[in-house]
Structure 1
Amino acid sequence: MCNYETEGTKYGCGHYKVTRKLTKRDCGNRYCKFSSRHARPCPHCPTCEQYLGPDFKENVVEVRQEYCTTCHYWYEGEGARPRR
């Protein structure tokens, strides 16, 4: 499973949002769709690995105290429960 080293923003809710992908770590597996060793066209797809692994390194370039857009909707926006 291939992975990326990324740069991104860390939000007050704990989420990390990628702003830029720096480098890719190639797993070298011929059954991984993202690997350079994967055949094009591949006779085994769609049974090949279709997803990237978690980032092998996250470089936080900005820290924000507010929630990310998804959490803002659920905790402070329209999706939030009415408070008593």
Structure 2
Amino acid sequence: MCYLETEGTKHGCGHYVISKKLMKHDCGNRYCRNSAAHPPNCPDCQCDLYYGPDRKETITRTVTDYCAHCAYWFKGGAQAARRAQQ
């Protein structure tokens, strides 16, 4: 599984949101789609698609606001959508 070094924003809800991908650490595994060792013509590819946890997260900004996902769920967006469905 390949890993990234990133820069991003730490939100009041605790989530870290990536703003810039700095470097990729290649795992060299041919079963990882993100690796340079993965064959480009992999038939019926069921290989690992996701990156592992960031190897290094550099917080460039800290804000008290919730991230977009949490703001939707905890500040009324989800409740409004649920009321509209009823």
Where do 4+ consecutive residues of structure 1 move more than 2 Å?
77-81
Alpha-carbon shift at residue 76 of structure 1 (Å)? 1.6
Counterpart of 1:25 in structure 2: which amino acid?
H
The runs of 5 or more residues in structure 1 that have no matched partner are none
Give 1:65's aligned residue: 64
The equivalent of 1:79 in structure 2 is 78
How many percent of aligned residue pairs carry the same amino acid? 50
Aligned length: 80
Q: Gaps (5+ residues) in structure 2?
A: 81-86
Q: Per-residue deviation at 1:17?
A: 0.4
Deviation at 1:77, TM superposition (A): 2.7
RMSD: 1.5
- Counterpart residue type for residue 74 of structure 2: Y
Tell me: CA distance 1:47–1:78, structure 2 relative to 1, closer, same or farther (3 Å): closer
Deviates more, 1:21-30 or 1:70-79: 70-79
**TM-score between the two structures when normalised by the length of structure 2:** 0.84
Amino acid at match of 2:53: P
User: CA offset at residue 47 of structure 1?
Assistant: 2.1
Counterpart of 1:22 in 2: which secondary structure? Answer: strand
